[in-house]
Amino acid sequence: MSEPGGYSQGGRPPKIKNKNAAAVQITAEQLIREAYERQSTTQKAPRQKVLDGEELSDYQARRRREFEEGVRKNRSNIAEWLRYASWEESQAEITRARSIYERAMEIDSSNQTLYIKYAEMEMKNKNINLARNLFDRAVMVLPRVAQFWYRYTYMEELLGNINGARAVFDRWMQWEPEEDAWMAFIKFERRYGETEHARSVFERFVYVHPESKTWLKWTKFEEDLGNIDRVREIFGLAIDRLGEPFMDQHIFISFAKFEVRMKEYERARAIYKYALERLPKSKSQALYNQYTLFEKQFGGKEEIEDVVSNKRRMQYETALKQDIHDYDTWIDYARLEESAGDIGRTRDVYERAIAEYPRIAEKRLWRRYIYLWLFYALFEENVAKDIDRARQVYIACVDLVPHKLFTFAKLWLQYAWFEIRQQDVSAARRALGLAIGKCPKDKLLRGYISMELELREFDRVRTLYTKYLEFNPTNCTTWVEFAKLEMALGEIERCRALFSIAIEQPTLDMPEVLWKAYIDFEFDQENYEKTRQLYERLLGMTDHVKVWISLAQFELSIALHNNDADENNDALSATRVVYERAYGRLKELGLKEERLALLEAWQETEERNDGDTSLVEDKMPKRVRRRRELEDGSLEEYFDYVFPDDEEQGSRFKLLAKAHLWKQKGKN
């Protein structure tokens, strides 16, 4: 059997068989409205009318028994005591109510509500002395509760007992309360025009609460009174009393703003600078922002630039505290000081920066560090005009770098050019000679050669090239540059000898550059037979298609170089011979893509010189798509070239042609 609402006797909810939506939907608003309409009204107790004294006595006795029984059951329930006392007060039984309050205080003497309700009752019934005595008891028992003191002083002030209220405030201040209590005392004195009393309260206030906001309230008080000198005196006293460990930037900001209001802009600027010099960066961000606004408003161009520079200095110092080896930041910092024009500060930054050298001897860590030394030396030379100091910077840097592990050619070369600018060529050569002796490297030798070339010391240049090639004989660029020098000096045989020695080297980094330079040299000297021999020697070493194409173009260019029309046909025939040789050689090697590139170059040559293009077209391959099996068994498509004259693929080529013809017949 189910209970009302569909629940079973066991309290289990009913099982819903039909979970479809109801035909009539009910909104949440309808449910709330119906619930509100069906609420049952609570029955209120009927009002009783007391007609005579006997009924009143019975009612009072019954209520007192109820209250007494309630407080007897739960004596610590202060709310019950308060209701009891309030009821007695409503019955005009003040004595009984007072007795109830006293009984409650015996139970809980530290309950604030008891004192407040008790005092309100006495004040309501104009028992002033009793209320005063009660407040005295309260502030003696709970002197840290500000509410008692506020109500006590308000009562005395309301009664016109100004001296009594002041005495209460004095008693309160002996307990050194919070700031609001002091400000209430000060406002009380100002309401009655006691400025000196208020000032003496402020003196005690800042002694008890030595904080910046306390001093600022005092300065505002004096400023409102128009005591300008007194305000400055208080600001100075605050700065002395607080001291640097507890100094707050807001003191200086308010002081400077006060001077601005007084139109004393120089005083304000001096205050800002004084504060920025003494406060740490972490505690002066707002001060700096206010200084920036001040200079934008009242300063000139120099002052504004100085503010911007100070801000950037703060940013650089902060960044360097996080990473002292951030050399990019050091460089930017030094350039900032250089732009400011302060030589002393710039030197100080550079000295601080170079003192933080990398502790690990790895070139990648030293690369940015060396730039600090280079910029430092350039600064001493160009800005400070201190040549001796610049030389000392170079020497100190050279001594610091571990040259046995790595070196920096830029350092040696810049030092050498510095000595050149000082017209001391011997010192420059000594420096570079020392560098080559300690740690020879390509860039260093090239820089030394470039310097001697500008000095037109060709014998020294030859000597340096010789040392360079002894140090690194595989560098083709060096061989070519040395040969070009000899050719520029008119030493053709020297140049040819250098090229001959160079191509005999067993190892070269870029042999194609060297061979091309040698061939171009012989061609420019119109030594065509020698050029042809060089091509043949090169083809004996490599079968690269570009070499064959270059040889063919060389044969053709002989006639063009001589501007001889009769030799043009012979040159074209010689070019065809080279192409035929190349084609046959590449065919032997099975290099299909190289053969295609060769044929394209050959065809272009025939077209440009009005030759017979059919010689090439008959050899041009067809591009076909094929498949090949990979190592993992999968198939890969690729493009292959089928040459007509390839014997191995001739039959396959014919088969493809027949298949193509059969396909065309099928379509027709």
629 forms beta bridges with 635
Residue pointed to by tokens 């030595």 = 210
> In this structure, what token pair is assigned to residue 63?
């209520």
Residue pointed to by tokens 């329930």 = 77
CA gap 7, 66 in Å, rounded: 44
Q: What DSSP state is assigned to residue 8?
A: B
SS3 letters for 271-297?
Answer: HHHHHHHHCCHHHCHHHHHHHHHHHHH
Q: Is the dihedral of CA 503, 505, 506, 509 positive or negative?
A: negative
Q: What is the pLDDT of residue 323?
A: 86
Question: Is residue 559 within 8 Å of residue 571, measured between CB atoms?
Answer: yes
Question: Is residue 80 within 8 Å of residue 70, measured between CB atoms?
Answer: yes
pLDDT in tens, 114-130: 999 999 999 988 889 99
CA gap 99, 299 in Å, rounded: 75
CA gap 520, 529 in Å, rounded: 13
Alpha-helical segments (H) within 125-227: 128-141, 146-158, 162-173, 179-191, 195-208, 212-225
Q: Is the dihedral of CA 345, 347, 349, 352 positive or negative?
A: negative
Question: Is residue 94 within 8 Å of residue 120, measured between CB atoms?
Answer: no
Distance between first and last Cα of the chain: 93
Closest residue by Cα to residue 518 from 537, 543, 541 = 537
Q: 210: how many CB neighbours lie within 10 A of its CB?
A: 14
> In this structure, what token pair is assigned to residue 193?
């025009």
In this structure, which amino acid lies at residue 21? A
CA gap 213, 220 in Å, rounded: 10
> In this structure, what token pair is assigned to residue 585?
């050689």
**Which residues touch 285 (CB under 8 Å, ≥6 apart)?**
none
CA gap 331, 375 in Å, rounded: 8
Q: What is the pLDDT of residue 667?
A: 63
3 state SS of 161? coil
Question: Is residue 630 within 8 Å of residue 636, measured between CB atoms?
Answer: yes
Q: What is the pLDDT of residue 171?
A: 92
Given its phi and psi angles, is residue 17 left (phi above 0), alpha (psi -120 to 50 degrees) or beta?
A: alpha
CA gap 408, 447 in Å, rounded: 12
Low-confidence ranges of the chain (pLDDT < 50): 1
* Angle at the Cα of 481 from the Cα atoms of 476 and 485, rounded to 5 degrees: 150
* Angle at the Cα of 242 from the Cα atoms of 236 and 246, rounded to 5 degrees: 135
CA gap 268, 647 in Å, rounded: 101
Question: Is residue 393 within 8 Å of residue 376, measured between CB atoms?
Answer: yes
Question: Is residue 179 within 8 Å of residue 202, measured between CB atoms?
Answer: no
Q: What is the pLDDT of residue 647?
A: 52
- Number of helices (H) and strands (E) in the chain: give both, helices first: 33, 2
Pairing of strands 622-629, 635-642: antiparallel
Question: Is residue 598 within 8 Å of residue 548, measured between CB atoms?
Answer: yes
* Angle at the Cα of 548 from the Cα atoms of 545 and 549, rounded to 5 degrees: 85
CA gap 326, 280 in Å, rounded: 22
SS3 letters for 38-73?
Answer: CCCCCCCCCCCCCCCHHHHHHHHHHHHHHHHHHHHH
CA gap 49, 398 in Å, rounded: 114
In this structure, which amino acid lies at residue 157? E
Closest residue by Cα to residue 560 from 546, 571, 547 = 571
> In this structure, what token pair is assigned to residue 622?
């067809």
CA gap 560, 548 in Å, rounded: 19
- Find the length of the chain: 668
> In this structure, what token pair is assigned to residue 640?
């292959």
> In this structure, what token pair is assigned to residue 161?
């007992």
Cα 572 to Cα 541, 547, 554, 575, 586: the distances in Å are 26, 18, 11, 5, 21
pLDDT in tens, 369-406: 889 888 989 988 888 888 898 889 888 888 888 888 88
